Amino acid sequence: MTIEKLYLVLKRFLASLFILFLIVTLVFVLIRISPGEPTQKYLSPKLSPELAKEVQKSYNLDEPIIVQYFGFIRNMFTGNFGISYEYRMPVLKVISQHLPVTLTLAFFSIIIQLLLGYFFALFSVKRKNTLTDKFLRRASVVMYVTPGSVLGLILIFIFSVHFDLFPSGGFHSYFYDELSFPGQIKDIAAHLILPLLTLSLPGAALFFNYFRDGIEEVLQKDFVLYLKANGFSNKVIFRKHVLPNVLKPVLSVAGIELGFLLSGTLVTEVIFSLPGMGRLMISSILSRDFPLVIACAFVSAMFIILANFIFDIIKVKIDRRIWREILR
Amino acid sequence: MMKPNKIKIWHFVLSIWTVIVIVRFTLLVKTAELMWYVFLLLFDDYDFLLSHLNFQMFDAGLSLLIMLMIPLLLSFSKIRNKYFNSGINFSKCFIVLLMYSFLLPSLITRVHPDLQKNISEIKLLHPFSIIYEIRLKSDGDSELKPIKEKFLTLKDEVILKEFIEGKIFVKNYTLEEHEYKINHNNKIILIPSDSIELIKSDIILFGTDEFGRDIFSRLIFGARISVFIGFMAVTISLILGLTLGYFASTGNPFISMTLNRLNDLFLSFPAIFLVILVLALFGNNLVSVIIVLGFSGWMSLYKIVSSEVAAIKQKDFFIASEKLGLNNYELLLKEILPVIMVPLTVNLVFQFSNVILVESALSFLGLGSGSQYPSWGAMIEKGQEYIYEAWWLIFIPGAVLVLTLLSFHNIAKEVNKFFNPKIT
């Protein structure tokens, strides 16, 4: 069984590699067939054509596309994505500067989403069909459909413009370096609260619905009644028998959600001017910084695949019977 | 038990129609007159007519036609019972209002979305503020034939204009010895009272933006763009998903495998990234936004179609009709489409709200359908700059956007429930 599991994991790994390769190829082709020349920006029309050729050569853009493509793939396998046109340093270094923000945001956001969804669902199920329950369900639908741009701006308006509680943008204050360590943590936390809320509330509403419907449905099943008749306490029934059943669909959604969070949450990062992957992606696309664009695409696709894989492993841990279907 | 709803959706449609007819009756009559003159000029002076025809003229004629068609359509009991006979609720009402503003924006609001009313005075006015419109006397001595003159005056009255010459909009004015003192473009100017035709007050329902443009009018015309983009993009993804899914289920294994891999590829990648990449590299305008959004939404439709068609092929009724000798085209149209229509409809409604959402995000990032069309996302983005002065720039378009998405979400759920009553 272990060998079969390993085989399936390996197969999935290879399939993921193939998909990553396809994505990089797709982005490469899209970039190269698009009109416009990235070196144009750095060239004055007064320069001689020979010099312009030289600049192109320094960017490796003078060769035919096929040669460029194979050179690029060869470099990629050695972990070299090239040098960013804009930042003038290795692409992976640029990405590693922007990654911490996105990783923090995604990590805390998925935890907040799951916890908020779970506890509100418990709260709501206990008061089934009361006014609170109905209100929570209505509010969760409204929350779920609210776009990030609207939600973020409303939060900024309430908490930073009106009450002046939290800063409206940036990752840390300009006097960050002078603060002591706890002060630094506090500073970053104050900056991250509003973006985290913006990212988490719609997802929390989604998880609330999944948890609530799931718990309600499973509690009506016959096996719960049987366990109750056999004298198991409600706590044990809920923890050992109800929750694993509810978690299955939640975890598949959580995998997708985490993937999207890790690949950079464009609108939120733009609103709160956070230096994360999403803003890096947009700015690199708009400034035609092609090595950076490809690397960003690669990294975000990798994260999506990875996030799905992590949550699949958790699912296997919870329900051991169905690992064949999940890992396939 | 829920009490069956007595008020049907067609009552609501008809009541909105009545309100529009009552409020805009003179305008409708003038539009009809204008159309009559267009008809007369068709025989009289074709070149003159051609130089004056534009999209807005066509739009005015079309809205008159739609206004005539609505009661006519509702009077057919077949149509009424099929589409407009469900009980009323908030989402459906909102969708009806949205459709009205999609079809007849120029009847709902009489202000051009790009009309800048005296920027120095009328910018960033809060909702429900009152302004004064001063109409100057004009000396209209033209030497056209009466029929053409009549045509031009009617056209002036019917069609919304981006720039109005003889009107000045002010917040307040003072009268000093037969001269009106007003502030126009940061200058105090005096207007003798005998050159003024009339002064009337006007209420600005939702306030104005930073260029002194009416937000209500921009919302109504923005609805038109949003719904148009939604319809077109969903149609493109529907056609793509249907054809690709059908091919994947009929064709040889090689095609189906390639398509499945392609589907995985698109699913394991945030679609918005690809959308932004393509729009930034190849330029963004209305057409490219529609095409890109259409192409980015085919995955879920493809999955549904290919799996459903594969399931249908095992069913007895399909095998029987195949043996009866129906050709591929008839099989698709008569046997497959009616069955897959159910999951497709639900998915399409979700897709539609998703397209509106992504379009607003794109306009927010500055990659939308361009600045020549008012767009909800772009309005919200502009509001971000003025968040300290003008809350209504964010809250009003944001509320409309949320209500639209909410209504489509609820409608999709209702459709799903209608087709699968077992789902709670």
- pLDDT of residue B120 exceeding 80: no
Chain B: residue whose CA lies nearest to A32: B281
CB of A141 less than 8 A from some CB of B: yes
- pLDDT of residue A152 exceeding 80: yes
State the pLDDT at residue B1. 45
- pLDDT of residue B424 exceeding 60: no
- Mean pLDDT, residues A65-93: 82
Instruction: Report strand pairing: B179-184 vs B187-192.
Output: antiparallel
Cβ-defined contact of B387 to A23 (cutoff 8 Å)? no
Q: Which residues of B touch A262 (CB under 8 A)?
A: none
pLDDT band of residue B307 (cuts 50, 70, 90) is confident
Tally of CB atoms within 10 A around B174: 8
Contact between A246 and A228 (Cβ < 8 Å): no
pLDDT band of residue A320 (cuts 50, 70, 90) is confident
pLDDT band of residue A204 (cuts 50, 70, 90) is very high
State the pLDDT at residue B227. 92
Cβ-defined contact of A304 to B269 (cutoff 8 Å)? yes
Chain B: residue whose CA lies nearest to A147: B357
Please state, in angstroms and rounded to a whole number, the distance separating the CA atoms of residues B208 and B409. 30
Cβ-defined contact of A153 to B268 (cutoff 8 Å)? no
Out of B3-12, B72-81, B216-225, B247-256, the most confident range is B216-225
Cβ-defined contact of B270 to A300 (cutoff 8 Å)? yes
pLDDT band of residue B97 (cuts 50, 70, 90) is very high
CA distance A186 to chain B (A): 26
Cβ-defined contact of B280 to A267 (cutoff 8 Å)? no
Residues 6+ apart with CB under 8 A from B76: none
pTM of the model: 0.89
Q: Which of A53-67, A154-168, B32-46 has the lowest mean pLDDT?
A: A53-67
Cβ-defined contact of B394 to A282 (cutoff 8 Å)? no
* Tokens 């999709």 -> residue: B412
- Sheet containing B129-136, strands listed edge to edge, beginning at the edge strand earlier in sequence: B167-170, B129-136, B196-204
* Residue B145 tokens, joined: 């034939």
CA distance B10 to chain A (A): 26
- pLDDT of residue B89 exceeding 50: yes
What burial letters (b/e) apply to A138-170, b meaning 16+ CB within 10 Å? eebbebbbbbbbbbbbbbbbebbeeeeebbbee
CA distance A220 to chain B (A): 14
Q: Which residues of B touch A293 (CB under 8 A)?
A: 277
What are B218-248's pLDDT values in tens digits? 999 999 989 999 999 999 999 998 888 888 8
Cβ-defined contact of B387 to A30 (cutoff 8 Å)? no
ipTM rounded to 2 decimals: 0.87
Task: Give the CA count within 13 Å in the CB-facing half-sphere of A29.
Answer: 6
pLDDT band of residue A264 (cuts 50, 70, 90) is low
What are A205-230's pLDDT values in tens digits? 999 999 998 998 888 889 999 999 99
Q: Which residues of B touch A264 (CB under 8 A)?
A: 270, 273
Q: Which of B4-8, B98-102, B197-201 has the lowest mean pLDDT?
A: B4-8
Average pLDDT, chain B: 85
